[in-house]
């Protein structure tokens, strides 16, 4: 539901009752647009500041720096950050271990109160956080709204879940005993989030960790450390004790690998590429000297997501769903539609309508609320352009296929038709605004193509057939399946998110079993 501004709820009842997702802004409302422009101006005046490492509450500067740049205007520095190295691993582990001694023994009410306060503060400054997303990762206003709204949802949902977990009971009570089941924290965790949802995923993994009683070493992506720094400031303002979250931007190959391998690291929560996820999984499975537990790896990795467009579908809805799924946030979502598998009976008509829809997408600076901003960095841009050149060899270019004007890393939304199954564009995750359209002989063939990939994250089917819907539910092998709607935009509570195969450990963030991953169950039987 689109409204003029966030709802005002009485403070005494804000966190009571059932969980409700945070509403989005309607920017067709001029007052909302005015407020967003004001937030952008406010954040623009704060660009270029320097941020410290935070280890055990202490601010630390380093010789090496990380400069976060605006993808839409790479000459503009969003923030300068200290770069954690191997020498910071031991201090960070020690600070987190020391904080764990007390934080793990706080009441669940104290921990959830902190997380609820974070949500309250974030709700008050929602547009300001949205503006940081506009500048640091080139999200348009609606995408930034969805990212920050999901962060608020995680605050509300995980706090409620922690309270529910604290009331767990054994299925039966034996005569003469008092039997109980406690979900206790694990220990020190490494939280390694991506840049594409730099607020929601970063905060979600952190919040799930700390509301469960764990402490964290947070290593944000080098492409989006400023948003993480702003979130840590919010945690501190809400009253988070020193050492509960230690803010350590740094290189994955040095600082990140060393934290993952450390004997005292109890779990790793990671979202990112298949290659890095598998590397972390292997490192976590190797026992370090002095390590007394099996490390838990919570991994959300890539996708090669498909939308099946059946011959009997509402073609207008299918075109819109494919366009939004493929090109929302420049296709830089693990859930993005990278493949449209279209029945041959409507293939040409679908392509014609899709071409017209995609060519309406405006590419430009998201500060001005263009439909599509820039891809995240120069390296990513070059990789995507390489895939586009491959697509010109393997298929038929329908639209796009080149850079768009501007200083930033802008690429036109690109659609290729007649891409053959098993080809590079059909199999590999591109993570950019490139869509491969594949012709299917029928529904059986479409399912075969959709499932013939090492990934299994999201997918969608557009059809009016109940039989085909039921078959997709049984046979389309993805963690998140959508029927007659786009394959992006999972909502906390409604669509627990996580995938199969090389898409990760199916962690189901935003779902009722997510906090199990950050806790361990202790059974107590007391004779009375």
Residue 250 DSSP class: B
Task: Specify whether the backbone of 164 is left (phi greater than 0), alpha (psi in -120 to 50) or beta.
Answer: alpha
End-to-end CA distance of the chain: 53
CB-count exposure of residue 132 (10 Å: 0-12, 13-18, 19+): buried
Residue 288 DSSP class: P
Question: What contacts 370, CB < 8 A, 6 or more positions away?
Answer: 140, 362, 363, 364
Query: What whole-number distance in Å separates Cα of residue 418 and Cα of residue 391?
Result: 10
| The two structure tokens encoding residue 24 | 């989005």
Residue 289 DSSP class: T
* 199 belongs to the catalytic site: no
Helix and strand element counts for the chain (H, E): 15, 23
Question: Containing H/E element for 50?
Answer: strand 49-51
Q: What is the signed CA dihedral for 315, 316, 317, 319, rounded to 10 degrees?
A: 80
**Catalytic pick among 334, 337, 426, 487:** 334
Distances in whole angstroms, Cα of residue 49 to Cα of each of 117, 159, 203: 26, 32, 21
Distances in whole angstroms, Cα of residue 74 to Cα of each of 70, 78, 372, 377, 378: 5, 9, 16, 8, 9
Query: What whole-number distance in Å separates Cα of residue 283 and Cα of residue 294?
Result: 11
Phi, psi of 366 (to 5 degrees): -70, -15
Query: What whole-number distance in Å separates Cα of residue 164 and Cα of residue 162?
Result: 5
Three-class DSSP category at 318: helix
DSSP secondary structure string, 166-227?
A: TT---S---TTEEEEEEEEE--EEEEE--SSSTTHHHHHHHHHHHHTT-EEEE---TTSHHH
Q: How many CB atoms within 10 Å of residue 95?
A: 22
Distances in whole angstroms, Cα of residue 491 to Cα of each of 155, 198, 397, 487, 494: 14, 17, 34, 11, 6
**Catalytic pick among 136, 143, 300, 429:** 300
Query: What whole-number distance in Å separates Cα of residue 441 and Cα of residue 391?
Result: 22
* 334 belongs to the catalytic site: yes
Distances in whole angstroms, Cα of residue 193 to Cα of each of 53, 197, 221, 284, 324: 17, 8, 6, 17, 24
Task: Specify whether the backbone of 17 is left (phi greater than 0), alpha (psi in -120 to 50) or beta.
Answer: left
What is the set of active-site residues?
A: 300, 334
């Amino acid at each position: 539901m689109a409204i003029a501004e966030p709802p005002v709820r009485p403070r005494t009842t804000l966190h009571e009752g059932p969980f409700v997702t945070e509403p989005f802004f309607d920017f067709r409302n001029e007052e909302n647009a005015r407020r967003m422009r004001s937030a952008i101006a406010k954040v623009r005046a704060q660009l270029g500041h320097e941020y410290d490492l935070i280890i055990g509450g202490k601010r630390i500067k380093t010789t090496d720096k990380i400069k976060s740049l605006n993808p839409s205007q790479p000459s503009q520095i969003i923030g300068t950050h200290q770069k954690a190295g191997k020498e910071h691993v031991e201090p960070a582990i020690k600070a987190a271990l020391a904080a764990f001694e007390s934080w793990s023994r706080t009441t669940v009410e104290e921990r959830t109160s902190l997380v609820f306060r974070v949500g309250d503060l974030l709700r008050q400054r929602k547009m300001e956080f949205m503006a940081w997303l506009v500048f640091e990762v080139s999200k348009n206003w609606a995408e930034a709204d969805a990212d920050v709204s999901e962060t608020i949802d995680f605050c509300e949902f995980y706090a409620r879940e922690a309270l529910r977990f604290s009331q767990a009971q054994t299925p039966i009570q034996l005569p003469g005993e008092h039997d109980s089941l406690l979900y206790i924290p694990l220990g020190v965790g490494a939280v390694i989030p991506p840049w594409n949802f730099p607020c929601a995923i970063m905060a979600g993994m952190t919040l799930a960790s700390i509301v469960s009683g764990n402490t964290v070493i947070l290593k944000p992506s080098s492409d989006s450390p400023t948003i993480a720094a702003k979130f840590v400031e919010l945690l501190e303002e809400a009253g988070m004790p020193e050492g509960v979250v230690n803010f350590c931007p740094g290189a994955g190959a040095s600082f990140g690998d060393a934290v993952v391998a450390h004997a005292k690291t109890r779990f790793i929560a990671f979202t990112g590429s298949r290659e890095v996820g598998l590397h972390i999984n292997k490192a976590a499975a190797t026992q370090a000297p002095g390590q007394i537990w099996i490390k838990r790896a919570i991994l959300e990795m890539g996708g090669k997501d498909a939308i099946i467009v059946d011959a009997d579908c509402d073609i207008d809805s299918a075109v819109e769903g494919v366009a939004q799924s493929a090109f929302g946030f420049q296709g830089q979502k693990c859930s993005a539609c990278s493949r449209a598998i279209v029945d041959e009976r409507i293939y040409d008509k679908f392509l014609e309508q899709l071409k017209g829809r995609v060519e309406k997408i405006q590419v430009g600076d998201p500060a001005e609320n263009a439909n599509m901003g820039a891809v995240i960095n120069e390296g990513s841009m070059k990789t995507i352009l390489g895939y586009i050149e491959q697509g010109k060899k393997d298929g038929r270019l329908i639209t796009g296929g080149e850079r768009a004007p501007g200083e930033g890393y802008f690429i036109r939304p690109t659609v290729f038709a007649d891409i053959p199954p098993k080809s590079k564009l059909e199999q590999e995750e591109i993570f950019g605004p490139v869509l491969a359209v594949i012709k299917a002989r029928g529904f059986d063939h479409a399912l075969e193509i959709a499932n013939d990939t090492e990934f299994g994250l999201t997918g969608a089917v557009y059809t009016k057939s109940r039989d085909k819907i039921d078959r997709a539910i049984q046979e389309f092998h993805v963690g998140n399946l959508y029927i007659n709607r786009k394959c992006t935009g999972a909502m906390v509570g409604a669509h627990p998110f996580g995938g199969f195969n090389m898409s990760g450990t199916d962690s189901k963030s935003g779902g009722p079993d997510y906090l199990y991953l950050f806790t361990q169950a202790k059974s107590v039987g007391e004779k009375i």
